[in-house]
Amino acid sequence: MRLSLKTTASLLAALASGPFAYGCDSSSDGPVDPNPSGSGEEADGERALAPAAHPDVAFLDAYAETNRFRLGFPRSITMLRDGSGVLFLRSGGRSLEGKLYYFDAESGEERELLTAEMLLGGGEEELSAEEAARRERMRLTARGIASFSVSRDGSTLLVPLSGRLFLVDRATIGEASAIREIESDAGGAIDPRFSPDGTHVATVRDGDLYVIDVATGAEARLTSRANTGITNGLAEFVAQEEMDRMRGFWWAPDGQSILYQQTDHAGMERMHILDPMHPESEPASWPYPRPGQANAAVRLGVIAIRGGSTRWVDWDHEAYPYLCTVVWSAEGPLTILVQDREQEHESLRTVDPATGATAELFVESDDAWLNLDQTVPRWVANGTQLLWSTERDGRFALELRLADGTRARALTTGDLDYRSLVHVDETAGVAWIAASEESSETHIYRVRLDGEGEPERVTTEPGEHSAVVAHDSSLWVHTKQLEDGTGASVVRRANGAEVGTLGSEAEEAPFEPNLTFETVGRREWRTAIVRPRDFDESLRYPVILHVYGGPHARQVTRQSRGYLLDQWHADHNFIVVLIDGRGTPGRGRDWERAIDGDFISAPLEDQIEALQQLGDAHPELDLSRVGVWGWSFGGYFSAMAGLRRPDIFRAAVAGAPVSEWRDYDTHYTERYLGLPEADGEEGAYHRSSVLTFAVEAPVEDLRPMLLVHGTADDNVYFSHSLKLQNAMLRAGRPSELLALSGLTHMVPEPVVMSRLQQRVIGFFEQHLRGE
């Protein structure tokens, strides 16, 4: 989820005392009026209710077939180290098939390099179950060429496709000899990567690590797992899903050895997914760690590419069971970040690959939880310094430390919220970072490593900006999605001069959202309002609150393309509102950690109060007719909102909701709620569970709820919606269940996406317009 489904805050007695005592906190003056002045029928009786409208479903079909108008944009942008050009993938505007392109920085011209047909000779693409699961963790729906890598000198491409591996000589593409397959009967290749010198390729086949000589194609097996419950060279589920760590092996800088992860799933629970459309098929089975249950056991070992025994890395696995980050670069020592199960302490350690011994540099601690940043640590100055990020002083910041771990200086301070490290230019003495002083935007900055001067903001236009920078810093690609609806990936020189733009085949959306952004209320909530394109200010409109409301995701961002579906909903004569409250990122440590020990009370309070502030300011919002919908954590929030505050929400659509946090995964859930309390105790899991309120809330407050869930969801299992529907049925509460047969946590099929949204808007038409 992101879901994937994290300040320290005391639980407010008023928020925890019952399902209807959530309208105030310790700083409010009293309970919140569910129908504030100017927002409802009684306060503004002369306004007529906007009639139902029926915009063309052709938009919805186009929205689905273009994957939200995102297909066709350049992705997987990769710079050649010398800045001579850019490699990237792109599909057609209504195609999932990725093709490889090259942009020449000198001429400014772009050309197609490689397609799946060129590699497979017209054969069908096939994905193994392991690769399909890995793509699910990456939220990747692409077919064709989905990934690639390039040798350090830029001469050779490595392309995995359909479980097979292909080496491509970039200079002779188009000739018969340019493409060479690395053939193997050991199983499909997962996560293949070049050695630093480009002479070898390492990959995982059937749970073991292999190394291949590029010149000869000879393949050697480096590990032999003892049983199918052990894997070598692959990241475990929670690393992929919750830590953003997709790698399970790392090349030594000299290319002569490999550090790899061994994962033992013994003792873990296994979850099973049966395809109800094909009951004759065997169910798929996966190890899955639920809160309080066993995690996978992870260790690291170093092995030479010529084979031999493994040298195991030594650290206190009992104190620090989670392997979060690994860095092995020529700029500094092999370094690992390990974390305790509660995620309140983490140790950054250097590793001696010759002995496996580790030495602690420093420990980072937080009495709520620690967020991970996979772009650090980054060694600089020939290994005498490292870059690190921390929330220690109340806001995410970048800092410089010495080789012994001692903090040297902060590189960002004040209201600038650091997001990630993009690039380091040691010659110029600067680091490129993604950051912002405004939570609804992301910009690119340059900060000096010596700490002198103010951060230099490189991007200016309101919106979301990212950058990919060449190793020598001579060239970079500036990708932007802006508030005015425009977007592009612009190739620039180091001084900002434009070289050209990477081509896009994305379809233009048929309209621009009627969108406004406002900051409201005592907490300065960021909000977005989407009105019908033919909005009539003399009418009042039912309101749809489109929500996520949880960790690691912002909904209010100043890029208008993200609100196209909201506009289609609004054109049915609704007003759609989006709000980022406490628990969401970008507003500092305390803001995010308001959910510590209670997933829902503070976010629900914020959404309601901000909504009512908007209602006070805009009488066209009919707050007596409010519906709520969301997906994943947003689905959880929507279900909770409908059950806990039926006085506010007349209908709820909960997509793929987590109904019981004891059934989600360890790393995500325990980060925020800790270990589960004993059965019968009313702790964090009890007060954060939808099932609690499905049973406890008064039956007389009946509000309709539509549950939507993919039957093959291996992130938030289908059982979550089944348990919730069962609890609501037994409690006499109305609910409907829409099962998406065979689909996972994503909804990639255009026809299903289109029909799903028609069902959602029809549900709100039925329950928000009637009396």
> Where in the sequence numbering do the catalytic residues fall?
632, 713, 745
Contact indicator for 146, 88 with CB cutoff of 8 Å: no
**Cα 537 off chain centre by:** 37
Q: Computed from CA positions of residues 81, 83, 87, 90, in that sequence, does the dihedral angle turn out positive or negative?
A: positive
φ, ψ dihedrals at 220, nearest 5°: -125, 135
Contact indicator for 448, 433 with CB cutoff of 8 Å: no
The secondary structure of residue 247, as a DSSP letter, is B
Cα distance between residue 648 and residue 628, in whole Å: 10
Q: Using H for helix, E for strand and C for coil, what is the string for 615-629?
A: HHHCCCEEEEEEEEE
Cα distance between residue 558 and residue 442, in whole Å: 9
Cα distance between residue 591 and residue 10, in whole Å: 13
Angle between helices 601-617 and 633-644 (to 10 degrees): 70
Cα distance between residue 715 and residue 632, in whole Å: 9
Cα distance between residue 488 and residue 117, in whole Å: 28
Q: Using H for helix, E for strand and C for coil, what is the string for 439-505?
A: CCCEEEEEEECCCCCCCEECCCCCEEEEEEECCCCCEEEEEEEECCCCEEEEEEECCCCEEEECCCC
Angle, CA of 529, 594 and 317, to the nearest 5°:
125
Q: Computed from CA positions of residues 31, 34, 38, 41, in that sequence, does the dihedral angle turn out positive or negative?
A: negative
Cα distance between residue 212 and residue 205, in whole Å: 12
- The residue ranges of DSSP E strands in 274-384, in sequence order, are 284-287, 297-304, 311-312, 322-327, 334-339, 345-351, 358-365, 378-380
Element (H, E) at 112: strand 110-114
Q: Computed from CA positions of residues 396, 640, 629, 69, in that sequence, does the dihedral angle turn out positive or negative?
A: positive
Contact indicator for 520, 610 with CB cutoff of 8 Å: yes
Contact indicator for 594, 9 with CB cutoff of 8 Å: yes
Cα distance between residue 764 and residue 747, in whole Å: 21
Residue with tokens 């099929």: 749
Buried/exposed code over 89-122 (b: 16+ C-beta within 10 A; e: otherwise): bbbebbbebbbbbbbebeeeebeebbebebbbee
Contact indicator for 302, 257 with CB cutoff of 8 Å: yes
Q: What share of the chain is helix, strand, coil (3-state, %, to 5)?
A: 20, 35, 50
Token output for 607: 């959404």
Contact indicator for 713, 739 with CB cutoff of 8 Å: no
